[in-house]
Structure 1
Amino acid sequence: MVYLCIGSYAKTPYYIEKVGIHIYSIEELCYYLFQNAFLLDYTIMKTELCDFVEKELQLKELAAKLSGLIRAGTSLSAFVSTILEDTHYCTREELKNIEQALRENERLGPGQKRKVRGDYFYRNGKYLFALREYQDALNAEGADDDFRAAVYYNIGVVYAKLFFFEKAGEMMKRSYGLAPDDGTYLRWLACKRLAGNREEYLDFIMKEQADQNQYMKLEEEISQIFLEEAEKKDKKYLELKNVLSMKEEGKIALFYEGIDSILASWKREYRKNMEE
């Protein structure tokens, strides 16, 4: 489909705080609405957006329509549809799908909406935004144990992505306590392994009386994860291959020292990139 360029390009962009993006054109606004219907709520229906459409984008008729819809207290679906329809951004069939998604989203509870947004931010690498949404999901009324367990699990995954393995382990433990599951338990053990030194980890394993098969499976998974990550980093691939070979040769102490050293290096590299 060919999109028509209409309106002006904004000198001062419109900031959508929920997702941390700036909008400079009606095409960018339509793209955001079209791709993220499940993220939208009534906070998009602001007079500030109408002013932006009128003054920055020079789309006075559309701005007047949107202002009227806000005053009339219309639905979110009607508001979004008006923008997409007036700009001819999508086909009629696509518009119907968007309207359906918006109606389904309106039926979700507050906590569920927050989790959906958190999942979106996580998939797009916006981890701090994801954590904020997940925390709000936990604080929402009416959340049952299964829902809270799922949210705690996701928070744990985000913390692990940020190399905060101690915090990640705490979240996995809470998730497991609410809804016991072998997969969650294994992730909890993994976080404990990655958070501390080998001696502390083995003490934890003994205290928790972890199943030997689970322990061995975990060690294999961690080795595979390190190998996959190293392949992405090219230069470090051979280094990790050498470390993994120590395990096969029975040099267990050297193997764990090597793994801990590589992990520490990746942490430093990641946090340096975050600062830049």
Structure 2
Amino acid sequence: MGEKDRIKRVGGGKVGKVIVCETKVAKNPFCFQETGQKFYSYEELCYYICQYPALFQVDFVTDELIEWLQKEIKAYTLAEKLAYLKRDNVQSRAQVLTILEAYPYLSPKDIRAVIERLDLLHLKEPWLQKRYYADALYKAGKPQQALKIYDHLVYEIPEREENYQWLAAVWHAKGSCLAKDMQYEEAAKSFKKACEYGNYEKSRKSYWITLYLLGKQEEIKEDIAQNNIPIEKYSDFIEEMKRKEETLVDYKDYQRLERACTLKEEGNQKEYQKMMKNLSAKWKQEYRENTRIR
């Protein structure tokens, strides 16, 4: 196997990692349905399990995975073992352990750490397992899928004082998903709800940022007054946002581009073309203004 064949890049969301592959590299990747992540090697699959164990807390071995292991990377023994586990409905913990121990990519210590994290997840309340699963989806660059889970979780978590920190965290996470999708009105409502349960600084600031993006600075002042926050905080916040104004404009364009790509993946070509046309027109106009071309 040549050096180019042995090195592949894998990673969730925006961050990638270079992995040296000692096993065969597939010509055709396996696509993990939950996130759309594609794997070309056994090592990439192991790395992904280590990064996002919460995504593997339920049975995940499919006929497609078994076939890919056999045909693409020639991992016949591993494929046979997984087929046996799938046939006997063995829990995901055993499936993960079988994969991680198949080849000497991870140390025994690393494997134990992953299994311990899975065991801890299984001991938690069902709604908390879902929360970690949704968090893993968000971290893996799938906020829209995570949002569907958060939508249910905010009503599934028992509304008791000992759960307020979890409710605050889930409402905040829901707001982050909505903000990433440029649904600022709904995001602001979610961040405000998070503040009601936890009054954490990050939720408060996220709430103010969404209001600022909506042009609702008066509501920021009202929130400061209602919560007995020193008025100086408002001036400091506005100054900070003005310093970041250019960055915010670029970030909003980036969000629009991400949204357009999602629409394309979902097969919504009409909306995708519309968003790309608007973005292209905006960027052309900015270029003309910056270069004084009329």
Q: Which residue of 1 aligns with 2:170?
A: 151
CA–CA separation in structure 2 for the residues paired with 1:50 and 1:143? 42
How big is the alpha-carbon RMSD for the aligned residues of Structure 1 and Structure 2?
3.2
Asked if residue 223 in structure 1 is aligned to residue 208 in structure 2, the reply is no
Secondary structure of 1:15's counterpart equals strand
**Counterpart check, 1:271 vs 2:290:** no
2:35 matched to 1:19?
Answer: yes
Segment drifting more, 54-63 vs 158-167: 158-167
Which residue does 2:189 correspond to in 1? 170
Tell me, yes or no, if the aligned pair for 2:55 and 2:137 is still in contact at 8 Å.
no
Alignment partner for residue 181 of structure 1, among 187, 199, 203?
199
Aligned match for 1:105, one of 121, 131, 143: 121
Q: Per-residue deviation at 1:264? A: 6.3
1:24 is displaced (CA, Å) by 2.2
Equivalent residue for 2:48, pick from 20, 23, 32: 32
Q: For residues 65 and 148 of structure 2, what CA distance do their matches in structure 1 show? A: 24
**Is 2:224–2:230's contact at 8 Å kept on the other side of the alignment?**
no
Distance 1:28 1:186, change over 3 A: closer
Q: How is 1:188-199 mapped onto 2 (pairs within 5 angstroms)?
A: 188-198=207-217
* Between 62-71 and 207-216, the greater mean CA deviation after superposition: 207-216
Q: TM-score scaled to structure 2, two decimals?
A: 0.67
Per the alignment, residue 82 of structure 1 pairs with: 98
**Equivalent residue number for residue 94 of structure 1:** 110
**Rounded Cα–Cα distance in structure 2 between residues aligned with 1:265 and 1:94:** 39
1:222 Cα shift?
4.2
Given that residues 178 and 187 in structure 2 are in contact (C-alpha distance below 8 angstroms), is that contact kept between their aligned partners in structure 1? Answer: yes
Residue 187 of structure 1, CA deviation: 4.2
Give 1:112's aligned amino acid: L
Shift of 1:151: 0.7
**Which of 138, 143, 157 does residue 122 from structure 1 map onto?**
138
Percent identity over the alignment is 23
Q: Which amino acid aligns with 2:133?
A: R
- Kept in 1: contact 2:137–2:146 (CA 8 A): yes
Following superposition, the deviation at residue 116 of structure 1 comes to: 1.8
How far, CA to CA, are the matches of 1:54 and 1:187 in structure 2?
47
Distance 2:89 2:83 in 1: 10
Q: Which has the larger radius of gyration?
A: 1
Question: Which residue identity is paired with 1:221?
Answer: F
Gap runs ≥5 in structure 1: 234-262
Structure (1/2) with the larger helix percentage? 1
1:108-160, Cα deviation, whole Å (9 max, x unpaired)? 33322232233334345433233233224335465755223321122123333
Q: Secondary structure at the match of 1:86?
A: coil
Q: Distance in 1 between matches of 2:227 and 2:101?
A: 59
